[in-house]
Amino acid sequence: MDFSIAEYGAVGPLNGKLSRGQVRDILGAGFEVFWKTTDSLNTTDAYIQLDLHVYYDERDIVKGVEFFERSTVSWNGHKLVGETSTDVLALFRRHGIDPVIDDDGFEVGELGMGFYVDDDDDLITTLYINLRRENSFNGVVPLQEA
């Protein structure tokens, strides 16, 4: 499945207006439901085959998607997860975007993206994409997004 990003609020067929039922219709039945953290307000759907997690608000509307290394998420024709942060940072900078770097990775606020980078090998292992502006990062590390 194509998970390309063209604008804030959408990735492939997903956006921040879809219900849990609509997401399941789009992505299929191959999911597991779990609580991301003990403080989570709702459960998360894990699509193992697609290597992603979908997060929902209290009303079961999508708020974000977390992509892992085997996922096919891309921006401007370039794969984003499983690549080196050096390459992806250079990609954004070539397009006039200056990511904000922190201790765990970096953020591209104008696209709602938060990247987690493995310190040992500079690989991006996780990308959280916020699909609703009211859920903006404000410095929250993607892996802690609930």
Residue 128 pLDDT exceeds 90: yes
The predicted pLDDT at position 119 comes to: 85
> How many structural domains compose the chain?
1
pLDDT, tens digit, for every residue of 49-68?
Answer: 999 999 999 999 999 999 99
Spatial separation of the C-alpha atoms in residues 130 and 114, rounded to whole Å: 8
3-class SS at 142? helix
For residue 135, what pLDDT is reported? Answer: 57
CA-based max dimension of the chain: 40
pTM value surpassing 0.85:
yes
Reported as a pLDDT band with limits 50, 70 and 90, residue 141 is very low
| 6-39 pLDDT per residue, tens | 889 999 999 999 999 999 999 999 999 999 999 9
Distance CA 128, CA 71 (A): 12
pLDDT one-digit tens code per residue, 69-112: 999 999 999 999 999 999 999 999 999 999 999 999 999 999 99
Amino acid at 141: V
Q: Counting every residue, how long is the chain?
A: 146
Give residue 95's domain range.
Answer: 3-144
> Percent of the chain, pLDDT > 70?
92
The Cα 73–Cα 32 span in angstroms is 20
Q: What pLDDT is recorded for position 143? A: 44
User: Which residue type is seen at 79?
Assistant: K
Which uninterrupted H or E stretch holds 68? strand 62-68
Which residues contact residue 23 at a Cβ distance below 8 angstroms, ignoring those fewer than 6 apart? Answer: 14, 45, 54, 62
Dist CA 85 CA 97 (whole Å): 14
Question: How far is the CA of 47 from the CAs of 21, 32, 44, in angstroms?
Answer: 14, 7, 10
